[in-house]
Structure 1
Amino acid sequence: MTLFARLKADAAPQWADYTCHDFVGQLASGSLPLESFRHYLVQDYLFLIQFARAYALGVYKSQSVADMRQSLEGVKAILDVELDLHLELCGTWGMDRSAIETAPEDTPTMAYTRFVLDAGMAGDLLDLQAALAPCVIGYAEIGARLAGEGKDDDSNPYQRWIREYAGEAYQGLAKDFIAWMDATADQVMTEQRYPRVLSLFEKACRLESDFWQMGLNAKS
């Protein structure tokens, strides 16, 4: 069993609340209000900027060149791929880069990003990975599930989002992250330490749920 599989099993309620949130269900059916999706996209763009910084922190926390390269790949994936996806989607509603990057951070965005950065600053690479894992791997699981359920069709206004996270490139990134976290755990994990790693993972799942809810609340 991978460390991620163990964490997912032990945090099953938090994982289910996150990956099966009503926001995801409405996104899958195409019934999510556009204003909810727009607010989510802008906040997720701001979130990813901080997430890139967290991966950059991973470079500093790494004990090997291989780990440094893995962290760097995370930075590049965000800056070269995911941010462009958000700009593309926001552009369909007439929002340009300047409007997005100068938007104010919502409270759930600040809470989540600062949690991840603090986990990395206060702990080591494994602590940082545990805080990053729900986002990195959860989006891959959600994307694959929605595509597998046939939700990826041209009638869904959110098909571009689903295809991105169900796609081979992102699925590979998530698999690589699972293997990377396992390799780190092989070096530093002990049973005495596991509860702390699990706590970080659970908190990140709850913050992911709060992030979805922020999007739903924007419709009003």
Structure 2
Amino acid sequence: MSSVQQLIQNAEPHWRAYIEHDFVLRLADGTLDKRCFQHYLKQDYRYLFHYNRALALALFKAENFAQMEQAHHAIQTILQESKLHVTFCQRWGIAETELLQTPESAACVAYTRYVLDCGINGSLVDLYAAIAPCALGYAEIARHIVERQLSPPGNPYQDWIDTYASDDFQLATAELTDFLDQLCQELTAKQRTKVQTIFNTATRMEVAFWQMGLDLS
């Protein structure tokens, strides 16, 4: 079992609550309230901003050029994704000005500042343990929806599902998995315990982010 697989396994029951959250299930079958999805989209835009700030810390904390290249590539990807996110939001009736003016939810503040704190005060592996649940979980969620054929014809959220089930996103997630596995190879038992705690906490934050969408909070 790889280090990342162990992180996921040891994150239970939080991991299951994350990938099988009511928000996800309703999105999969198309019954999610439009207002909930719009609220999620606006907060996700704010999340992406801070996610990229965290990746900038990964660039700073890199110990070699290969690690710098990994962070640089991720930063470029998120910058492009943020532009696509604006276009996607427009299709859901959310103007860019509204995205910029929307206050951050408590769930978004808690999650993003926790990730940044891990990056500022911790090691490179601590930072990647904090950001990994997002990509890993989204990839698993979308893959399961497609493989189990949970999405009905005409699902208004099909574009979201297709984005994270795409070969490009699945490949990027696999590369992140390999990179985090490499970072975990030389960890001591004490360091592994810390990394697991960070991964668990970030997973709990993902659960809270879905709940924020449902609650319109």
Name the structure 2 match of 1:51. 51
Q: How many residues align?
A: 217
**1:73-126 Cα shifts (integer Å, max 9, x gaps):** 111111112x23322221123322121122110000000000000001111100
Name the structure 1 match of 2:131. 132
1:162 positional shift: 0.2
Conserved in 2, the CA contact under 8 Å of 1:18 and 1:206? Answer: yes
Instruction: State the alpha-carbon separation in 1 of the partners of residues 103 and 210 from structure 2.
Output: 17
Cα-Cα RMSD: 1.3
1:153 positional shift: 5.3
5+ residue gaps in structure 1?
none
Name the structure 2 match of 1:169. 168
Instruction: State the alpha-carbon separation in 2 of the partners of residues 84 and 192 from structure 1.
Output: 40
Name the structure 2 match of 1:71. 71
Name the structure 2 match of 1:110. 109
1:72 positional shift: 1.1
Conserved in 2, the CA contact under 8 Å of 1:143 and 1:166? Answer: yes
Instruction: State the alpha-carbon separation in 2 of the partners of residues 87 and 151 from structure 1.
Output: 27
Instruction: State the alpha-carbon separation in 2 of the partners of residues 88 and 212 from structure 1.
Output: 22
Instruction: State the alpha-carbon separation in 1 of the partners of residues 40 and 193 from structure 2.
Output: 31
Name the structure 1 match of 2:84. 85
Instruction: State the alpha-carbon separation in 2 of the partners of residues 85 and 36 from structure 1.
Output: 20
**1:168-198 Cα shifts (integer Å, max 9, x gaps):** 11001100001111111224x1112111111
The amino acid of 2:64's aligned partner reads S
Q: TM-score, length-normalised on structure 1? A: 0.95
Runs of at least 4 residues of structure 1 off by over 2 A?
A: 151-154
1:3 positional shift: 1.2
**1:121-141 Cα shifts (integer Å, max 9, x gaps):** 111100001101100111111
Identity, % of aligned positions: 39
Conserved in 1, the CA contact under 8 Å of 2:129 and 2:195? Answer: yes
Q: 1:208 aligns with which of 206, 209, 213?
A: 206
Name the structure 2 match of 1:40. 40
Conserved in 1, the CA contact under 8 Å of 2:30 and 2:151? Answer: no
Instruction: State the alpha-carbon separation in 2 of the partners of residues 21 and 3 from structure 1.
Output: 24
